[in-house]
Structure 1
Amino acid sequence: MRGRRLVVAAGVALAVVACNNMANQPKRLPFELPYGAEARWPALPPPGTVARDEPLGAPSPPPVTLALLQRGQERFDIYCAPCHSRTGDGNGMIVQRGFPPPPSYAEARLRQAPVQHFYDVITNGYGAMFPYAARVAPADRWAIAAYIRALQASDSGQIADVPPDHRQTLQ
């Protein structure tokens, strides 16, 4: 019986020593270059890779066109009007529900701000406003910023500034 235990113990010890922790097996390491590829950094992403973030640096604003302003108005009415109201005076629906009002776009501080300021605020948020970078595409942010400028210009406009064929719709 004692000899049998000795043989079993020796067999178990031999089995434990013979089993390794799989360190010496063929495997692929993360970010390993394919066989024969030159080592380069940063490596180019594979074709069809979907970008996770925007390029660094703010893009330049597009030229202001009627189509851009119409797109900006549409996006403004969706994303901005609940807080800023459709006229940009800061008396949106949230104010009626007890939240503090956002600033009016007619304030001197915002009239003097560059268009880039509105793009940055939409992207990163400001004060109580949370960022809309994940909700609003960069092209739409520029369209909204251009529309905000149009709202600011219309706030101080006179009826004589409107072309005669469009005056009936305003009166």
Structure 2
Amino acid sequence: MRAPTLLLPLLLLIAGCKQDMADQPRYNPLARSTQFADGMSARTPVDGTVTRDADLTATPNKFPYPITMELLQRGQQRFDIFCSPCHGRTGDGHGMVVQRGFPAPPSYHQDVLRNAPDRHFYDVITNGYGAMYPYAARVPPTDRWAIVAYIRALQYSRYASASALPSDLRAKLDVEATR
């Protein structure tokens, strides 16, 4: 009876000593290789490869959050940090980077962008567009939506009619206009 009890741990010990996986041939990063025609051991990722930290959650087509003053203030803060250097504080495309000679981005107040769906702005922030590089690694999805809400507020503020304002603000504007 004692022999089988000693035999089992011995078999497990022998099975664990096999080093085939640890000793298999491999290349160190950026080492030369005779296996490939270009002489490099490092290979470029296959088309369609997804990065490990990629956001794979489905992106909604419409604005996914209730628009609150807190969200708009967060959007303004993020817009001022990430977007205004090129797009300007009012979204007209005349930011400080443009004033220093870089190409101007489109104004958010063009009819094409005023009529664009919210998802368009979210996708552009995420993936970049034209000369704009992607901000997916810098701006989290909730902040991207906050920026989209703020862009919509900028667009609305430029074209809102005075009749859409509350009566007390309308009266204040009328008084200032008569001065």
TM-score bucket (shorter structure):
0.5 to 0.7
Give the alignment's TM-score, normalised by structure 1: 0.65
Aligned residue in 2 for 1:58: 59
1:82 is aligned to 2:85: yes
1:72 to 1:26, Cα distance in 2 relative to 1, 3 A? same
Whole-Å Cα distance in 2 between the matches of residues 133 and 165 of structure 1? 42
The CA RMSD over aligned residues, in Å, is 2.6
- Specify the structure having the higher radius of gyration (Cα): 1
Which contiguous aligned blocks of 4+ residues in structure 1 show a shift greater than 6 angstroms? none
Pick the aligned partner of 2:128 from 120, 125, 128: 125
Structure 1 unaligned regions, length at least 5: 1-23, 31-50
Give the alignment's TM-score, normalised by structure 2: 0.63
| CA-to-aligned-CA distance 1:9-67 (integer Å, 9 cap, x gap) | xxxxxxxxxxxxxxx9335969xxxxxxxxxxxxxxxxxxxx72212421462121111
| CA-to-aligned-CA distance 1:125-164 (integer Å, 9 cap, x gap) | 0000000000001000000001111111111023443335
Aligned residue in 1 for 2:108: 105
Please tell me the residue identity of whatever aligns with 2:54: D
1:104 to 1:27, Cα distance in 2 relative to 1, 3 A? same
Task: Give the share of equivalent positions with the same residue, in percent.
Answer: 59
Whole-Å Cα distance in 2 between the matches of residues 28 and 54 of structure 1? 36
Please tell me the residue identity of whatever aligns with 2:73: Q
